[in-house]
Amino acid sequence: MRLGCLPKEASRWAVQEVRAAGRWLPGDSPARKLMHPRFMRKRSLNGTILPRLPLYKTLDELRKEAQACKACDLWRNARQTVFGEGGESKTKIMFVGEQPGEQEDLAGKPFVGPAGQLLDRALAEAGIDRKRTYVTNAVKHFKWEPRGKRRIHKKPNTAEIAACRPWLEAEIDTLQPEVIVCLGATAAQALLGKDFRVTQRRGELMTSSLAPFIMATVHPSSILRAPDQETRQNEMERFIGDLKKLARFAK
């Protein structure tokens, strides 16, 4: 159905509804689905064409399609797209990091390097089985700059985050998690807006149009970067404390 076929009033109503809800729901009319941002958003901030993602795809299908994503330039220097993964059918908790690092780029899996190992330890301490959560990133290609022979992590910019957002929205729509956990400022700003400050609202379980609850906490790599052992230990304890708030979603 083309939107041109709809009476003007109906299409205005559909736009308002979808904007207000921020998502479509199973059982929505075809017109309303066509108004979903996944269909509507065709260009990212820097003008690149965004992937048009059909609804009703499985995560495996999305993962396969994301391998060919060229919505921004990061695919050029990365080895592969690192899509999310986890205990997909029973998942109630979805973690969103920033972007894959060097080890994730090589393995094709999110959070398998040092930050991922710290996340694993913190989850185990909080009594959460990582295998029953879904772990992904706001940006799905490794952005880096050369330093000698090493590839050093470089923060993704607003256009790159926006270019990747349809994949993140597709993961959220498909999984329908009960809680989304933003790990660090990039993920929080991608999902909660540019003005959101993790430092001010860390560990707060907030309601959201993306999922019943959303929470932001620090990125595990910020704990690895702590200046000394004592700070690292304190930060780890605070991080575990945040994760413990998710215990009720982990059952």
Footprint of ligand URA (CB under 6 A): 97-101, 104, 110-111, 113, 115-116, 137, 221
Nearer to ligand URA, 91 or 221 (CB): 221
> Judged by CB, which is closer to ligand URA: 11, or 103?
103
Between 51 and 97, CB nearer to ligand URA: 97
Per DSSP, the three-state class of 168 is: helix
Nearer to ligand URA, 97 or 177 (CB): 97
Looking at beta carbons, which residue is closest to ligand URA?
A: 97
CB of residue 171 vs ligand URA: minimum separation in angstroms? 14
Q: How far is the CB of 12 from ligand URA (least distance, A)?
A: 39
Give the ranges where 84-219 is alpha helix by DSSP (H). 102-107, 114-125, 158-175, 185-192, 198-201
Q: Hey, what amino acid is at 43? A: R
Q: How far apart are CA 203 and CA 122, in angstroms?
A: 14
Structure tokens at 171: 């993961």
| Helical spans, DSSP H, in 176-219 | 185-192, 198-201
- CB-count exposure of residue 122 (10 Å: 0-12, 13-18, 19+): buried
Task: Name the residue among 115, 120, 142 with its Cα closest to residue 225.
Answer: 115
Q: How far is the CB of 81 from ligand URA (least distance, A)?
A: 12
- The nearer residue to ligand URA, 38 or 99, going by C-beta atoms, is 99
Task: Between 92 and 143, name the residue whose CB sits nearer to ligand URA.
Answer: 143
Packing angle of the helix pair 158-175, 59-66 (nearest 10 deg)? 160
Cα–Cα distances (Å) from 72 to 67, 165, 240, in that order, read 13, 11, 35
Q: Residue 118 or 128: which CB sits closer to ligand URA?
A: 118
Rounded to a whole number of angstroms, the minimum distance from the CB of residue 181 to ligand URA is 12
Tell me how far, at minimum, the Cβ of 184 lies from ligand URA, in Å: 7
Least distance in angstroms from the C-beta of 63 to ligand URA: 15
Sign of CA dihedral 26, 48, 152, 217: negative
SS3 154: coil
Least separation in angstroms between residue 233's CB and ligand URA is 21
